[in-house]
């Protein structure tokens, strides 16, 4: 009987490859974590630092260096990180070199509430604690702080952040009632009354037209209040 050496060679090669693959897999699983690394994604507002992240992991999981890679549950590490009130989301993975990489997205504040209790309102409309590590440059919100008024305020903050002119100029929001807002501007002394958060685009288009004309007329310093509450009107009160 004629021996098919090509077939035997092929089988031998397959067995060799399987052996090498299994051996490398065992070696990979037996490796230990040699280093941890934290990367912050998005903006550079460090409400939580790398040192704080490392401390958080040690407090909850102990030291992760020299831990066998196959003994670490990555999902558990992510949940520990996301439990921190400054963290919006976390993704954790291991490299072939034994590095534990944590990629963290921090929460983004839109406004800072100042009253009986102080906190941020973030980009999901949720309350966010202040940080001793970093202070965000966002509008200060005062007045009647309730869950309902904050919902309306959140809608208004989103509108402000979508408009470069408003984002640059509005530094304070006073909630006179649940749906009645007054604005403090960066450079002007007058108060802007906008009423409720409906028809904001039309209201501020009118305001921008008024503002442009008032600058040309050098009249901005003569007003103590500007109202956008009425349909298609800008009503001004002089000093």
Residue 29's pLDDT is 47
**Among residues 49, 96, 102, which one has the least CA distance to residue 74?**
102
Is 60 exceeded by the pLDDT of residue 64?
A: yes
Residues 6+ apart with CB under 8 A from 135: none
Torsion sign across C-alpha atoms 73, 75, 80, 86:
positive
Residue 26's pLDDT is 46
Q: 35-106 belongs to which CATH class?
A: alpha beta
Concatenate the DSSP letters of all residues of 171-223 into one string: EEEEEEETTEEEEEESS--SEEEEESSTTHHHHHHHHHHHHHHHHHTT-GGGE
Is 80 exceeded by the pLDDT of residue 3?
A: no
Domain positions in the chain: 35-106, 109-238
Higher pLDDT, 70 or 10: 70
| DSSP H or E run through 33 | none
Mean pLDDT rounded to a whole number for the chain: 87
pTM of the full structure: 0.79
Over residues 4-29, mean pLDDT: 57
Residue 21's pLDDT is 55
Is 60 exceeded by the pLDDT of residue 30?
A: no
Residue 16's pLDDT is 63
109-238: what fold? Answer: Rossmann fold (3.40.50)
Digit-coded pLDDT (tens) for 79-108: 999 999 999 999 999 988 889 999 999 999
Find how far residue 223's CA is from the centre of its chain. 37
Over residues 2-10, mean pLDDT: 57
Instruction: Please give the C-alpha separations between residue 208 and each of 109, 166, 205, 222, in angstroms, as whole numbers.
Output: 26, 10, 5, 17
Q: How confident is the model at residue 2 (pLDDT cuts 50, 70, 90)?
A: low
Residue 31's pLDDT is 77
């Amino acid at each position: 009987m004629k021996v098919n050496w090509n077939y035997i060679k092929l089988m031998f090669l397959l067995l060799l490859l399987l052996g090498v693959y299994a051996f490398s897999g065992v070696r990979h699983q037996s490796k230990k974590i040699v280093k941890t690394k934290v990367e912050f994604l998005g903006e550079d507002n460090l409400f939580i630092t790398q040192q704080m992240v490392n401390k958080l992991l040690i407090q909850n999981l102990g030291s992760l260096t020299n831990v066998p890679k196959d003994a670490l549950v990555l999902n558990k590490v992510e949940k520990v990180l996301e439990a921190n009130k400054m963290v919006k989301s976390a993704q954790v993975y291991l490299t072939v070199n034994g590095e534990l990489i944590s990629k963290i997205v921090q929460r983004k504040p839109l406004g800072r509430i100042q009253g009986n209790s102080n906190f941020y309102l973030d980009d999901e409309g949720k309350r966010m604690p202040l940080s001793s590590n970093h202070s965000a440059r966002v509008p200060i919100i005062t007045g009647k702080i309730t869950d309902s008024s904050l919902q309306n305020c959140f809608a208004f903050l989103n509108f402000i952040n979508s408009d470069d002119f408003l984002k640059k100029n509005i530094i304070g929001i006073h909630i006179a009632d649940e749906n009645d807002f007054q604005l403090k501007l960066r450079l002007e002394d007058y108060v802007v009354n906008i009423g409720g958060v409906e028809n904001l685009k039309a209201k501020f288009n009118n305001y921008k037209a008024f503002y442009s004309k008032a600058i040309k007329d050098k009249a901005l310093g003569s007003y103590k209040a500007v109202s956008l509450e009425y349909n298609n009107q800008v009503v001004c009160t002089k000093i």
